Amino acid sequence: MGKPTGFMEFKRKMPTDRPPLERINDWQEFHNQLTEEDQRIQGARCMDCGIPFCSTGMIINGAVSGCPINNLVPEWNELIYRGLWKEAVKRLLKKNNFPEFTGRVCPAPCEGACTLGIHEPQVTIKNNECAIIDRAFSQGWIIPEPPKKRTGKKVAVVGSGPSGLACADQLNKAGHLVTVFERADRIGGLLMYGIPNMKLDKKIVTRRVDLLRAEGIEFVTNTEIGRDIPADKLLKDFDAVVLCGGATKPRDLQIEGRELKGIHFAMEFLRANTKSLLDSNHKDGRYISAKGKDVVVIGGGDTGTDCVATSLRHGCKSVTQLEILPMPPTERLQDNPWPQWPKVYKLDYGQEEAAAVFSGDPRQYCTTTKKFVGDSEGNVKELHTVKLEWVVDASGRHIPREIPGTEKILPAQLVLICMGFLGPEDTVIKQLQLEQDARTNVKAEYGKFATNVEGVFAAGDMRRGQSLVVWAINEGRAAARECDRYLMGSTNLP
């Protein structure tokens, strides 16, 4: 698995990023690439560790450790070290339908579980994955491969995010006639409109969609199931239906002043920005602009980072990000051992850019918003915050408590709420009379994915709740397998 002594001979090396003050002037991807030789050497660092925890996808202490789709990491690391790139592509695609997506946007739980990470910087698994698939496309190795036989069975997939696309890809490989319905004007769901272009260039998404279309999948855009087409019509027109609509109902912040203009959910902001960028390079003005404004982002995570980075590219006057949790430690704590996901402080790309522009990390930890205040015209002009401390209550739970005297007023003409999602929208759920779990997700057992309605399956965030792109691919693949079993009585899908 790589060179037996490679982890002792070679240091972790990542490609450089374009300088923050340069990249905030455009919407292009900001990562550079290693040379082929440097990438090969990084593959050599993969240890002969015996048990590849990087591939396991275990849930430990509430978080995933290792890859949820069980990527064959040691195998393709060794292959690129030996210069066998074509073989590496085959092993990579064995488990992952879309490594060009995960290689760009996945937080890499595989690296968190890397055995080398116990005492050295981990293997560059995510970057190696991206390099393999990008090389495959550039060399023309990825070509349409439509199925040789068709079953005649028709399947509707609702939603074209990562779970929907993975499901459609697998069902198409099995020979079924697959139609993917998407309510937006472009295919890709979260990949297209939820992740900014500088993090995932939409040409990368379109390239994959074009490939899937050439392999026989039909895509229908601008069509919302439950509104444009009644949900029960799918049951009449198709032999099976797989719901992959995501968890798109945002968590709100219902405090004084919430009705003021200038307060938006993160996805409103990000979706409109990307659509305007793709439609007109922002010339149509159909987006929420942060230009010249004091921006406050409420919430953390990848979405909060994307809002910070997008605001900077608009030319905001200032940007502040409020997080309710404490600042993570700079090193693993004793109660967060390997191979758990390392809960440590990091400066992500958006915060790095903000620090370059405004001389400091924009995040304020242990802070909550008490109220919004507006001007005479109903526009938000400021918000009031207070610091928190986390204490243990009588039942042993950690709960936040306000610290008197820490109240603060922040100027804000644009507020972006990034507090996660509560579950799926319920139009289709109600029309099909689907059972829901306690969190309002579609009720379908993991591993089976069948709902209470005959022939209807659910996968991805719509079934499991807000999660990672790699989990969406996991669920899309597995739901396709069970749908194929339902249609044919048995399945050869992995």
pLDDT tens across 388-405, in order?
A: 999 999 998 999 999 999
**56 and 163 fall within a common domain:** no
**174 and 290 fall within a common domain:** no
CATH number at residue 379: 3.50.50.60
For residue 322, the model assigns a pLDDT of 98
354 located within any domain: yes
Q: What is the pLDDT of residues 222-259, one digit of tens each?
A: 999 999 999 999 999 999 999 999 999 999 999 999 99
Q: What range defines the domain where residue 334 resides? A: 252-419
Q: Output the pTM of the full model.
A: 0.96
131 located within any domain: yes
Q: What's the CA gap between 416 and 273, in Å, rounded?
A: 13
Mode of pairing for the β-strands spanning 456-458 and 240-243: parallel
Inform me whether the pLDDT recorded for 311 exceeds 70: yes
Which one of 419, 452, 474 terminates a domain?
Answer: 419
**225 and 318 fall within a common domain:** no
Hunting for tokens 């292009």 — which residue is that?
Answer: 28
For residue 4, the model assigns a pLDDT of 86
Inform me whether the pLDDT recorded for 2 exceeds 90: no
For residue 261, the model assigns a pLDDT of 98
For residue 10, the model assigns a pLDDT of 96
Average pLDDT over residues 157-171: 98
Average pLDDT over residues 195-219: 98
144 located within any domain: no
**365 and 281 fall within a common domain:** yes
468 located within any domain: yes
For residue 162, the model assigns a pLDDT of 98
Inform me whether the pLDDT recorded for 1 exceeds 90: no
**256 and 401 fall within a common domain:** yes
Q: Report the chain's mean pLDDT, rounded to a whole number.
A: 97
**124 and 21 fall within a common domain:** yes
Q: What is the pLDDT of residues 104-147, one digit of tens each?
A: 999 999 999 999 999 999 999 999 999 999 999 999 999 999 99
**309 and 383 fall within a common domain:** yes
**378 and 264 fall within a common domain:** yes
Instruction: Provide the number of structural domains found in the chain.
Output: 3
Percent of residues, the chain, with pLDDT higher than 70: 100
343 located within any domain: yes
**38 and 108 fall within a common domain:** yes
Mode of pairing for the β-strands spanning 414-417 and 408-411: unpaired
**266 and 204 fall within a common domain:** no
Q: What's the CA gap between 372 and 252, in Å, rounded?
A: 13
143 located within any domain: no
**189 and 238 fall within a common domain:** yes
145 located within any domain: no
For residue 174, the model assigns a pLDDT of 98
Average pLDDT over residues 286-290: 98
Residue 385 pairs with which residues in a beta bridge?
369, 408
**190 and 285 fall within a common domain:** no
Which one of 395, 419, 443 terminates a domain?
Answer: 419
Which one of 391, 419, 447 terminates a domain?
Answer: 419
146 located within any domain: no
For residue 3, the model assigns a pLDDT of 84
For residue 227, the model assigns a pLDDT of 97
